[in-house]
Structure 1
C-alpha cells in the first residue's frame, strides 16, 4: 500500500522544497520508491517534462532526488505570474487559461479533480509520496477552495508535518500561531513539526522545542541546522537569486521583473573562475562586465519596457562599445532583436515594439508554446548540449544564418557578425560541462555541474538523516485510500 506525508510551512520560503528533496533522496537510498508531489506551485522557473509538459523546477529537482524523470503528475497545477494581478494557469503540464488572481480564487476549487487524478496516478507506481505545500496553511483567508495546503491534505486524507524557519526569527510564534488560527479539522491533520535553518548549538533550543510541543501537542521531528551547501542546488524562487563571488570573469545579469527559467545561472554560479553579479532595479550595469547575460522572461514586451526604464539599454550599448560580449536566452534573445511583433495581442494589446537592435532578427509572437527537451550540438566545437525549450514566439532574420546550435534537422540561435552578441531559445546550456568550458574559455574550470548537484543532494540527504527523525516520519505517513 502506498503511503504519503505532506510537508507544509509556517510561512513562505521556510525551506520546504529542499527538505522534500532531502527526504526523498534519503528514503530512496533506504530502498523505497519515492515520488515528489506539489498540488499547486507558483513559479516562472519551470522544467520541461519527459511527457511534453511543464512543472515547477523544484519538483524536477525533487524527482532527480528520487532518480525519477520529471512528470506532469508531480505538479498538476502551476501558476506562472505574467503581471502583478494575473498569471498563466498550467494544468497537468498544459496551458489552461490566463486569469487574474481574483478570478483564479473563484475557480481553483474546480481544479481539485485534476490534482487528485494526478496524485492517485502517481501513487500507483511508488511506495511513498512526499508532498510539498505552498505558502502557509495559516493564511486562513485563502482556505475556501484551497488545493495547495489543507484543502488537499483533507481531500486526500494525508498527514502533515509543519516546518518553521528559525533563521527569520519568531519560530515559536510561527508554529504555535499556526496551531492557534487553524480550525479544528485542519489542526488535527498536523501530526508533527520540525524547525529549519538553525545556526549554532542546537541544544540551546531544547526549551523552545518543549514549549512548542506543550502548546500544540504535535510531535517534534527535530531541528535541522543550516545547510551551507544549499546554494549549490538550483534555486526555485526569484527571491533566492543572488550574486556569487568567484573568479575574475564577470557575468552581469539584469534582474528582469518577470525573470523566468533562471536555472541558466546555477552552473555559472558554481564555477570558481566566474563571478555572477545580479543587477537589481535602479542599479547600473557595471562597466567591468565580461559578459552581459539577458535571461528568460515570462512577459518579454513588458520586461523590455522595464529594461529600458532602468537605463540598462544605454548601459548595454556602452558595454558593447567596449568590446563586451552579450548572450540573450529566450526572452532575452527576443529583446536583442530589431522588433517584436505581437499582432495577436498574446502579451498585451496588439502591436509592434522596437527591440534593442543588437541582433538583426525579428520575433513574431505566436500562440503555440514550444515545450521540448533538447539535445543539440554547439557548432563552434561540436560539443553536445542538453537543454530544453519553453517559449512562445518565432525568431527569424539575417543573423540566424550564424546559428550556433544544431538540433536534429534544424539550426537554432543567432549571432552578430563579430560573434560577440548571441542569442538562442535553449535553456540549460551551461549545465553541459563541455559547452560551458568552451563558451567561457579560460574562465571555466573542470567542475562537473551535474555531478555537483547529485553530490549535494547526497549531502543534503545525509544532513536530513542526521538531524530529522525519518523513522518517525515514516511511522506518521498515512496510507493512500483512493
Structure 2
C-alpha cells in the first residue's frame, strides 16, 4: 500500500497595485516563519521582470524570489518562479518556463499559451507543497485587472485552482488606500472575495490613532479584518522586482561619481544596489533626454535587447559622451549586454532579441558577439585580475563573444575559464558577471580602479540580511500573528 502525499498549507499575498508591498510582505513572512522553525518556501506563479537570478538547479527566476529564498534560508530553485516573462519590446517577451527560455512571444500569443503555462505553475506548486509545510505565494500586479482575468495564472486564477486563502495588501503612501482595497474587492467574483482573509496596509507614517476610524470603517464595510498596519521603514533596502530604486544613503565628502544610462530594456539593474548604498559613491541613473554630466566611472548595464538599446544610446548622445569621458581619463565598465556593446560588432542571426541582423558596436574593445539560442546560466566565483580580489556572481546571457580583447581577461573563474576583458590602457573593463559589486573585496578593488582612494568596505549581504530581519520584526510587532499562524495551517 502506498502512503498518500501530504501537502502543506498555501497562503497567497496579492496587492491592490503593482509595488503595493507584495514582495516585501512575502519576504517578511518567510523570515518570520523561519525564526519559528517553520520550513517555508516562497513561490510566485508568474513574474514579469528583467531582474533575474540564477538558481541552484541552473535555471533563471525573478530576483525577488531569490531574495525571498534567502529570507526562508533556502537556495533559489526554479520551482519558486515557474513562469518568468522578460519583456523584449512593448508587446513581446521572452517566455521562461521552469528556468529555461522556450520562446519569444507577442502578448496575444502568450495569452493563448497560458493554459500550458498554468500546468507548469501547478506542477511546481505541487512539488513545493509536498516538500514544505508552508508555501508563501506572491501574486503579480493586481487581481482586479479586468482585461487580464481570462486565463489568469498569476492571481485569483491560481488561488482558485489550488484553493488557498489570500491576504490583500495596499500602500497607503500612494494615497487612496481605502479606495484601493474596497475597489479591488468589489471587482472580484463572489468566490474570489471569499478568499480574501484580511487586509494589510503598508508604509504608514504618523499616529496610528488617526488612522483607526478608517480601519474600523473598512472592517464594517467589507466584513473582513485588518490584519495590521506596517510602518514606513526609513533607511530600508530590498531589491526591487523591476522599478529602478534611486534612494541613496548619506554620502561621505570623498565620493566617486558613477553614471548608469537607463536603457529601455535595462536588465539586472540590481547590480548597482551595492553602489547606490555605498557611502562613498554618488550613483546617478541617467534617463532619456537628461544631460550627461562628468563622472569618474560610467557603467553600461545589462540589456534584454542589446542592439536596439545600443541604437537608443547613440540617439541620446552617449557615444560622443563616452569618447569624451575616456579622453579625460574616466573609467568605463560594461556588464553583460554592456560588454557586448563595447565590442566591434553585434550579431543576432536568429532574431532572439528582435529583427535578425547585425549592428556596429562602440568599437572600444576588439571583440564581437553572436547571440545563440542556448542561454548561458551559471553561478560563478573567482578572482578579478584587479588586485586578485575575490569575486562571485552569476551569468545570464545568450551572447557568445570572441576576439583578441578577451586575451586580456577581467576575471579568472574558479572553473578554469576566464571572463571579460580589460583594455591595454586599463580604462575600459568588461565582464559577463552580474552581482560583481556584492562581494566587498571585489567592490573595493573596482572602486579603487575607478579612482576612489581609501575605500570603505561595505558588506552588501549583511545589509540585506539586516533589512530582512527588520521586516520580520515588523510582522511580530504590527500584524495579527495568531491569525497568520492559522492561515499558514500552524
Deviation at 1:245, TM superposition (A): 6.0
Q: Describe the SS at the equivalent of 1:304.
A: helix
Q: Describe the SS at the equivalent of 1:429.
A: coil
Q: Describe the SS at the equivalent of 2:371.
A: strand
Aligned residues of 1:243 and 1:278 also touching (Cα < 8 A) = no
List per-residue Cα deviations over 1:277-312 (Å, max 9, x = no partner). Answer: 11111112211x110011100110110011111111
What are the ranges of 5 or more consecutive residues in structure 2 without an aligned counterpart?
Answer: 1-6
Deviation at 1:12, TM superposition (A): 0.8
Q: Describe the SS at the equivalent of 1:382.
A: coil
1:156-175 equivalent positions in 2, closer than 5 A: 156-175=162-181
Q: Describe the SS at the equivalent of 1:451.
A: helix
Deviation at 1:188, TM superposition (A): 0.9
Deviation at 1:242, TM superposition (A): 5.3
Q: Describe the SS at the equivalent of 2:292.
A: coil
Aligned residue for 2:4? none
Deviation at 1:139, TM superposition (A): 1.0
Matched, 1:251 2:262: no
Aligned residue for 2:240? 235
Residue number among 431, 445, 458 corresponding to 2:469 in the alignment:
458
Partner Cα distance (1:234, 1:135) in 2 = 17
Residue number among 372, 379, 387 corresponding to 2:393 in the alignment:
387
Aligned residue for 1:325? 331
List per-residue Cα deviations over 1:243-271 (Å, max 9, x = no partner). Answer: 66634211111011100011210111121
Partner Cα distance (1:308, 1:478) in 2 = 56
1:80-229 equivalent positions in 2, closer than 5 A: 80-229=86-235
Aligned residue for 1:474? 485
Matched, 1:430 2:437: yes
Aligned residues of 1:274 and 1:443 also touching (Cα < 8 A) = no
Partner Cα distance (2:179, 2:397) in 1 = 43
Partner Cα distance (1:150, 1:478) in 2 = 20
Matched, 1:63 2:78: no
Aligned residue for 1:13? 19
Aligned residue for 1:273? 280
Aligned residue for 1:286? 293
List per-residue Cα deviations over 1:372-422 (Å, max 9, x = no partner). Answer: 101121123222211000001111222211102011222111121111111
Partner Cα distance (2:309, 2:118) in 1 = 33
TM-score by length of 2: 0.95
Deviation at 1:467, TM superposition (A): 1.1
Q: Describe the SS at the equivalent of 1:240.
A: coil
Partner Cα distance (2:466, 2:475) in 1 = 14
1:336-347 equivalent positions in 2, closer than 5 A: 336-347=342-353
Would the alpha carbon gap of residues 229 and 24 (structure 1) be closer, same or farther in structure 2, given more than 3 Å must change? farther
Paired residues, what number? 477
Partner Cα distance (2:357, 2:46) in 1 = 33
Deviation at 1:321, TM superposition (A): 1.0
Deviates more, 1:143-152 or 1:355-364: 355-364
Aligned residue for 1:414? 421
Partner Cα distance (2:35, 2:301) in 1 = 36
Deviation at 1:192, TM superposition (A): 0.6
Aligned residue for 1:359? 365
What are the ranges of 5 or more consecutive residues in structure 1 without an aligned counterpart?
Answer: none
CA-based RMSD: 1.4
List per-residue Cα deviations over 1:68-120 (Å, max 9, x = no partner). Answer: 00000000000100000010111111112211112212221322111011011
TM-score by length of 1: 0.96
Aligned residue for 1:4? 10
Matched, 1:24 2:35: no
Deviates more, 1:209-218 or 1:439-448: 439-448
Aligned residue for 1:45? 51
Partner Cα distance (1:174, 1:239) in 2 = 24
List per-residue Cα deviations over 1:422-451 (Å, max 9, x = no partner). Answer: 111011111011111111122631221111
Deviation at 1:331, TM superposition (A): 0.3
Partner Cα distance (1:241, 1:73) in 2 = 31
Deviation at 1:347, TM superposition (A): 2.4
Aligned residues of 2:386 and 2:446 also touching (Cα < 8 A) = no
Aligned residues of 1:402 and 1:415 also touching (Cα < 8 A) = yes
Aligned residues of 2:249 and 2:279 also touching (Cα < 8 A) = no
Would the alpha carbon gap of residues 472 and 28 (structure 1) be closer, same or farther in structure 2, given more than 3 Å must change? same
